[in-house]
Every structure is written in structure tokens, then in C-alpha cells.
Amino acid sequence: MTAIHTLGELRASGYPIRSVKDEMRENLLATIARRETTFPGIHGYERTVIPAIHNAILSKHDVILLGLRGQAKTRILRSLTSLLDERIPVVEGCEINDSPLQPMCKRCRRLATEKGDDLPVAWMHRDERYREKLATPDVTVADLVGDIDPIKAANQRLTYADEEVIHYGIIPRTNRGIFAINELPDLAPRIQVALLNILEERDLQIRGFPVRIPMDVVLVFSANPEDYTSRGNIITPLKDRIDSQILTHYPQKVETAMQITSQEAWTERASKVKIEVPDYVRQLVEQIAFVARDSELVDQSSGVSARLTEPGAPRGHDGGDDDLPAPFRLRHAPSGDHRQSGDGVRGRAAGRRGRGPEADRHRGGEAV
């Protein structure tokens, strides 16, 4: 396929026109038919989260993953690219990855008219078709959707209504791909409104100018349910338009947790001393996380990340944006709380004890 360099050759090859959702659906069906694993490296979700994701993709839904920190939400979203074709044809040099068979932007439509079958085709790899944004209060509509570039308009003597004066944001640049927004409730409500149009109409409108560019983008989101109330919210019309809401969870079995830790923790180090960690110690470490998740001494609203048990691993090794430095936080009595102060002291002391074996393992691992 990648030997094809012009529109004429692409047409002759019989390459189909299909949306990203159709592409993912067909590739998922093929993967299931071959009895291959769809999300390698994700453990403990085989009977819960993964079938729900399969259903969402087969139904061509946009998806939101709801769950606490350290439940592999970001990792799942990133691995959706494995369901994309390895490469797709795009009009060479197009900012929004137009299909040569269906050019959408003004530049490519003009080029297609000028060059006909000689329209140059480039091949885009699936890794380039996934982009993500961590929702923070400073994200603007211009970042996500785009803005008018007044200098371009002045230089080229174009009006603001001309689509060639648009500076595209990250979503149109992910056209024909997957766009992920992590921690959606943190996105300001007016920005969420801007996403509505893309979800509903599948097109782009910039600053109210009637530039309509059809978008073919799969939108996926993650959110921590706790943040709904504490930091922000998902506006109702947007929530209604995200068809599949999938709840993630922590590992249900110690064995699964051990599997995750041994996959993620940085234990194979170039060291002169070989460290043997017996299985019962590994189990114990996981058990601490399990107990912490049930403990009233631990602030459950922050969650006890599956990463708690892998403190030796370098930070950011899986790039999980949804994690915060503290593996788990103790529940602090809010000011004005009427509980007796002794409670808090006991809580903190017990908490320190709770962390003891964990910390010891860490120190031991480093010192030996």
C-alpha cells in the first residue's frame, strides 16, 4: 500500500472510504476472530472493562472511562491505537490529515482540482493518529478547536470567514484519529460546550464564522468520579452525548495485582548483587494496598493506586497523567471538624505504621 504516491494509484487500488469508527470496528472484529488479545498489558479487566470497551467500539460510541487514580485509564485509551490500520493515506502536507479520496479543507480541495489524479498521497502511521490533552483550567477553545490567525488574513488579503485564515487546534489536527481528554471535569464548562458540536455535528466551527469542516475523530475521555463534585463537573448535554460510560476498578485478586506490579516495577537493574524477593513478600506488599483500599484511615476519595506497590519504578514510566505524587493520602480532619483530636493522631500513627513495611521494602531494595 505505502508504495502508492498519488490519488490515481490509490483509486486504482480500490482503497475504501471509511470512518475511523468503522476502521476500529472492523479491526476489532478481525482481532477477535483471530482470538488475539486486544489490550495486552492490561490485567484484571478481562471480564469487566475490556468487554465493555469492545461493546463501545462495536457500537461506534464515544467513550468515557470513570475511575480512581491508577486504574490504567490512560493506558487503555492509548492502546486504542492498536485497533487502527497501521497506515492510512492522507493528502501530503494537509494540516488536518484529509483523505485523498475525500479532501475537506480548502487547500486540499484546490490541490485536488489542480492536480487531479496526480494529487500527492502520504501514509500516516497509527501512532501519529492519537493525541491527548490533560484537562486543566487554562485549556482554551483555541487550543482544542482553533482560532482565526489575523496576520495570515492580512497577509493573504482574506476575510475572517475564509477557512484559510484558521489556525487549527489539536482536535482538527487529530482528524481521522483518536483524541483523548484526561480528567474531563477539570475542563471549564464553556470549553466542554465547544466539544459538544464536534460530538454532535461532527464538524468544526471557529469563533462563530460559518466555516464548516466535517471532522472524523473518535473522542475518548477519562474522569475521576470524585472530581465531579470536588473540582468540577461534566455538563449534562456533553455527558448525554458520550454514549458509553465505563467504570474501571482496582485489581480484584492479589494475583492480578502481583502481575501488574511485576510488569510495571523497575526491578531488573544492572546491579552486582542479585536480589531475590520471595513470593510471600510480594503477596504481602499487594495485601497492603488491598487493606488500604478498605481502610477508613485512608482517604478513599483519592484512591489507592495500583502503582502504590511499585515505588521503585521510575516516575512516569507509563506516562500516566492521571496520577498524583502521593500514593495514598491519610484522611485529615477538616478544620471545624467536631471529632476528638485523638482520632486524628491515632489515624496518622496507624497510617505511618501502615506505610512501614512498604517503605522498608523500598529502602531494603535500594540499600542491598
- Catalog residues that contact Zn ion under the rule CB under 5 A: 94, 98, 105, 108
Please report how close the Cβ of residue 96 comes to Zn ion at its closest, in angstroms: 6
Q: Which helix (H) or strand (E) holds 134?
A: strand 130-134
Q: Which is nearer to Zn ion, 9 or 95 (CB)?
A: 95
Q: Which is nearer to Zn ion, 172 or 347 (CB)?
A: 172
Q: How far apart are CA 189 and CA 207, in angstroms?
A: 17
Please report how close the Cβ of residue 106 comes to Zn ion at its closest, in angstroms: 8
For residue 181, the number of C-alpha atoms closer than 13 Å in the C-beta half-sphere is: 24
Please report how close the Cβ of residue 281 comes to Zn ion at its closest, in angstroms: 57
Q: Which is nearer to Zn ion, 27 or 97 (CB)?
A: 97
Q: Which helix (H) or strand (E) holds 257?
A: helix 254-264
Contact 243, 61 (CB under 8 A): yes
Please report how close the Cβ of residue 212 comes to Zn ion at its closest, in angstroms: 14
SS3 187: coil
Q: Which is nearer to Zn ion, 70 or 103 (CB)?
A: 103
Q: Which is nearer to Zn ion, 105 or 219 (CB)?
A: 105
**In the beta sheet, which residues pair with residue 247?**
66
Please report how close the Cβ of residue 21 comes to Zn ion at its closest, in angstroms: 21
Q: End-to-end alpha-carbon separation of the chain, Å?
A: 54
What are the phi and psi torsion angles at 252 (to 5°)? -90, -20
Residue with cell 521510575: 314
Q: Which is nearer to Zn ion, 105 or 265 (CB)?
A: 105
Please report how close the Cβ of residue 90 comes to Zn ion at its closest, in angstroms: 8
User: Which long-range contacts (C-beta less than 8 Å, at least 24 apart) are formed by 25-34?
Assistant: 25/57, 25/58, 25/60, 27/83, 27/84, 27/85, 28/54, 28/57, 28/58, 28/83, 29/58, 31/83
Please report how close the Cβ of residue 94 comes to Zn ion at its closest, in angstroms: 3
Q: Which is nearer to Zn ion, 51 or 93 (CB)?
A: 93
CB-based burial of residue 286 (10 Å sphere; 0-12 exposed, 13-18 middle, 19+ buried)? Answer: buried
